[in-house]
Structures are given as structure tokens and as C-alpha cells.
Amino acid sequence: MTLNLALALAFLLSGLYAAFLAMTDFGLWLRQELTWLTVVIGVGITLACMMVVDGSAATTAALFFVATGFPIMFESLYRMWRIHRAVQRKQTEKRDGE
């Protein structure tokens, strides 16, 4: 019974999350610019629903997701920062006639 309720909750929450990502400007922006964050949130929803059934297994899975996801997240944020800095430098460089 607990498994069925957790699966139903997971289905409902992921459906709402998918609708948010597809039907809102912010959700569309997240999908395009911060894909890794949308994955983190989706995994978080899944792990939260797993906690209802087996907290120990969900905690173990969460630790593995953190271990494997952190390098990906760090690289993405570093790449965004580099792009942002390059744009800033281009905007502040002197142009002909200035």
C-alpha cells in the first residue's frame, strides 16, 4: 500500500513539475539555461517519494547522486561564469571613436 501511494505521489508531482517546466516562462528558461538544475529538482522529487517507502535506500541513493552530480554542477556553473565574464569584458572594451 505504501509503495502504491508513493508511486502515485511521484507520478502526480512529476506531472506538475513537467507542466511547470513546459508552461511557464521561468520553467522554459530553466530548461534552456540550467538543465542540470531541472534534473536535480526532478531527482529530488523522486528521492523524496522514495523516502516514503525506504528512507535508508533513498538516503544512499541521494549520497550517490551528490557524489556524481556535484562535478557536473560545478562545471556548468564555472562555464556560465566564464561566459558571463567574457560578455562583461566585451561590453566594457573601448570602441573606435570613444
Q: Please check whether residue 61 is in contact with residue 47, taking contact to mean a CB–CB distance below 8 angstroms.
A: yes
Q: Which residues contact 73 (CB under 8 A, 6 or more apart)?
A: 36, 40
Q: Please check whether residue 75 is in contact with residue 57, taking contact to mean a CB–CB distance below 8 angstroms.
A: no
pLDDT band for position 96 (50/70/90)? confident
The structural domains of the chain, with segments of one domain joined by +, span 2-92
pLDDT of residue 95: 77
pTM: 0.81
Interval 35-80: pLDDT, tens: 999 999 999 999 999 999 999 999 999 999 999 999 999 999 999 9
| Percent of all residues in the chain with a pLDDT value above 70, rounded to a whole number | 98
Q: Which residues contact 36 (CB under 8 A, 6 or more apart)?
A: 69, 72, 73, 76
pLDDT of residue 47: 97
